[in-house]
Every structure is written in C-alpha cells, then in structure tokens.
Amino acid sequence: MLQTKSIATRTQEPFNWYIIAAAIYLVITLISQYILKTHRPARNTF
C-alpha cells in the first residue's frame, strides 16, 4: 500500500491505483483460500 500511495501521489490518479492494488490483493487472497481449502482435508487425515 505504501507503493500505491507513492504512485497515486505522483500521477494524481489515486482511485485507479488503489483499485489495482485492491484487485491484486483480492486475487492473492482468493488463490490462498483455494490452496488452503484444497489441502485442509489431506492435512487432517492421519
């Protein structure tokens, strides 16, 4: 977010850069949730 703030200040288009940062965060979150969800059953079996 610090880099996003720096770029937004330089380009004077903060909304666009914060939307891009939010989209990247959403993609990373969805991928990590999917990985955790698919590996959870294998981890709980002994």
Residue 13: predicted pLDDT: 75
> Of 1-10, 14-23, 25-34, where does mean pLDDT reach its minimum?
1-10
Q: Could you give the count of Cα atoms lying within 13 Å of 20 in the half-sphere of its Cβ?
A: 10
Model pTM score = 0.62
Domain count, the chain: 1
The most confident of 5-9, 13-17, 27-31, by mean pLDDT: 27-31
Asked whether 19 and 4 are in contact (CB, 8 A), the reply is no
Q: What is the mean pLDDT of residues 8-27?
A: 84
Q: What is the mean pLDDT of residues 12-41?
A: 88
Asked whether 17 and 8 are in contact (CB, 8 A), the reply is yes
Q: Which domain range does residue 26 map to?
A: 2-44
